[in-house]
Structure 1
Amino acid sequence: MFKFVCVIAGFWLFGYAGAFLGLIAGIFIDRIRALGTGGINPLTNVVRQAVFLETVFILMGKLAKADGHISRDEINQVDLFIQKMGMTPEHRAQAIAWFNKGVDISFDTEPTCRRFMSVCGHTRDLKQMLLVYLIVIAMADGHIHPAEETLLFGIATHLGYDQSAFRHLVDMVLSQSHFGGSQQANSAQALEDAYRALGVTQDNTDQEIKRAYRKLMSQYHPDKLMGQGVPEDMIAVATEQAKEIQLAYDLIKKSRNI
């Protein structure tokens, strides 16, 4: 029932891409209703998912072009996003069109950010996940170019982040990325990265570290993110980040014998 409603609403609001997103939302809503949890407005969720997806691809394009050229690593990262979503050729073309819209040097990101905030801005986790996706894309070629960081901060400002909160999030995501197996688990640098990945320091108490860990794991929980408007097939990046957070916390626990 809800799949039909969401597909129609999505098509009416955003065309074929919206119909695709409506199908995703409808499946999710029917699943939630089957579990008896209810309480989701299907039309609202379709709109949030559509706006979130469009914003991600547009800003990916802007970010990829920020340093003056688009690297092969950045293209591969975008292709990976598309592959994980299992898009049809038609929907893939729409995502690429959004990406190319952002690539245009004359494109102004402010209206896109304003629209995102008007639809998704009341939910802190959606704003954070948008920034996390973009930071991961910026890191695709191994580092964040100064021009990319400037653009990221501009986007973060539109989302309500100040310099300190933005820097804190970037440091966390960068540190989380270090737990992909490339470091020695017992190295001093790995432990330092583990604390930064959780947004804490060695001066924090065991209880404070545990609270920070639980808060992050809650923010990255797939069901919670999908309920707030992150398309189901875009949850993969959040899942990867959650794995890195878990590894970081395990390393800290081992070092503290807790």
Structure 2
Amino acid sequence: MSWWGKLVGGAFGFMLGGPLGALFGAAVGHQFDRGLERAGLEFMGGAGEQERVQAAFFTALFSVMGAVAKADGRVSEDEIAMARSVMQQMALDEAQKRVAIDLFNAGKQPDFDLDAVVAQFRQESRRRTNLQRMFLEILLHAAWADGVLQPEEQALLRRVADGLGFPPAAFDR
């Protein structure tokens, strides 16, 4: 039985909502673990570096995507469709999609700690600048999903780029 999803879910939930958030996060993580088990992808013996990076990418991507979508005050149908498209491209099963949707919704909340999530992703993906670049590019596509890059979305994306250690000139490209 894998415990990695419960651990990540519980930790993320605690960051967002304290002890009650930890319980909710662990429950969501349990569903994620069950989905991995059914797919035969249970992580053996715990989390290696690659699994930690994948979990950090998954968690950060969908939660920050929710924050980007909500940055201008309203989440559009195009932004939701973009998130679903990313889920499809990642070939997520139903349980993983539910977790991704929960993360997206958590990112939309006013008390979402964007800087902490980005810092955690940066720490886990430290020598993988291509992964960080891809992360930022997906977020840029999400921000453009409705055809307009609002100033609030641009400011949030600059904050993410800065949190990942990208120089301002790299973001402007």
In structure 2, stretches of 5+ residues that fail to align are: 9-28
TM-score normalized with structure 1 length: 0.52
- Report the alpha carbon displacement of residue 164 of structure 1 after superposing the two structures with TM: 1.0
Separation in structure 1 between the aligned mates of residue 165 and residue 37 of structure 2, nearest angstrom? 28
Larger Rg: 1
The correspondence for 1:43, drawn from 48, 66, 80, is 48
| Corresponding residue pairs, total | 149
Give the percent of matched residue pairs that are identical in Structure 1 and Structure 2.
30
- Report the alpha carbon displacement of residue 93 of structure 1 after superposing the two structures with TM: 1.5
Does the alignment pair 1:140 with 2:145? Answer: yes
**Residues 23 and 146 of structure 1: CA distance in aligned 2, closer, same or farther (over 3 Å):** farther
Does the alignment pair 1:121 with 2:126? Answer: yes
Calculate the aligned-residue CA RMSD, in Å: 2.6
**Residues 10 and 114 of structure 1: CA distance in aligned 2, closer, same or farther (over 3 Å):** same
TM-score normalized with structure 2 length: 0.75
Does the alignment pair 1:158 with 2:152? Answer: no
Q: Are the counterparts in 2 of residues 156 and 166 from structure 1 also a CA contact under 8 Å?
A: yes
- SS of the aligned residue for 1:64 comes to helix
- Report the alpha carbon displacement of residue 143 of structure 1 after superposing the two structures with TM: 2.3
Separation in structure 2 between the aligned mates of residue 25 and residue 136 of structure 1, nearest angstrom? 32
- The equivalent residue for 2:79 is 74
The correspondence for 2:2, drawn from 4, 8, 19, is 8
- Report the alpha carbon displacement of residue 97 of structure 1 after superposing the two structures with TM: 0.8
- Report the alpha carbon displacement of residue 22 of structure 1 after superposing the two structures with TM: 8.5
- Report the alpha carbon displacement of residue 23 of structure 1 after superposing the two structures with TM: 8.7
Separation in structure 1 between the aligned mates of residue 38 and residue 151 of structure 2, nearest angstrom? 39
Output the amino acid matched with 2:2: I
Separation in structure 1 between the aligned mates of residue 90 and residue 2 of structure 2, nearest angstrom? 20
- Report the alpha carbon displacement of residue 87 of structure 1 after superposing the two structures with TM: 3.0
In structure 1, stretches of 5+ residues that fail to align are: 1-6, 28-41, 169-258
The correspondence for 2:104, drawn from 99, 102, 115, is 99
- Report the alpha carbon displacement of residue 24 of structure 1 after superposing the two structures with TM: 8.2
**Residues 77 and 43 of structure 1: CA distance in aligned 2, closer, same or farther (over 3 Å):** same
CA offsets 1:182-229 (integer angstroms, 9 cap, x no match):
xxxxxxxxxxxxxxxxxxxxxxxxxxxxxxxxxxxxxxxxxxxxxxxx
